[in-house]
Amino acid sequence: MTDVERLLAYEEIRQLVARYAVAVDSRDLDTLVALFLDDVQVGRDARGRDALKAYFESSLRGVRVTILNTGTHVIDFIDDDHATGILYCRGEVQLDDEWIVQAIQYRDTYERRDGHWHFVRREHLLWHARPIGTSPVGLPDAQWPKDQIGHYELPEAWPTWGAFWAEDPDARR
């Protein structure tokens, strides 16, 4: 890619993640699934946008209002048509009569087909989910899907995190 093509690719991928957030929050499932490859892998046994739409339909019915606010976004190109990314997101979610905040990280895989970038895969990781107005410090481990509140896999999911703290016997998570 030329420098200009690379800049345009960065921007298209940034728009892809922003459109994902807006589509989730507005429950626009047609727009949401169109952001993914047409032959997207859904779970272990299903493929395609129809299967993805059914998955989103089911999972989004478990919450009411969502507000996804995207932030830090690192994009690394593998070649002209493939890239990976890490995106930070702060989510606010209504669970029945409770309002929670989530610190989310998406680990993305992108592919360009027919001149446009799409998601191949989004891995959803969390630092924590907690009632708004409470501290994430000291949360018990989450027991998802039974209980969504708690500490999740980050920051421990980073190999560098454990290596950094390995030399400190007083290290806490």
Q: What percent of the chain has pLDDT above 70?
A: 97
Asked, as a colleague might, if the bond just before 145 is cis with ω within 30 of 0, I would say: yes
C-alpha to C-alpha distance for 159 and 173, rounded to whole angstroms? 14
Is the CATH code 3.40.228.10 the one for domain 3-132?
no
Per-residue model confidence as pLDDT tens digits over 15-37:
999 999 999 999 999 999 999 99
The end-to-end CA distance of the chain, in Å, is 42
- Work out the pLDDT band at 79, boundaries 50, 70, 90: very high
Find, among 104, 146, 147, the residue nearest to 126 by Cα: 104
Whether the pTM exceeds 0.85: the reply is: yes
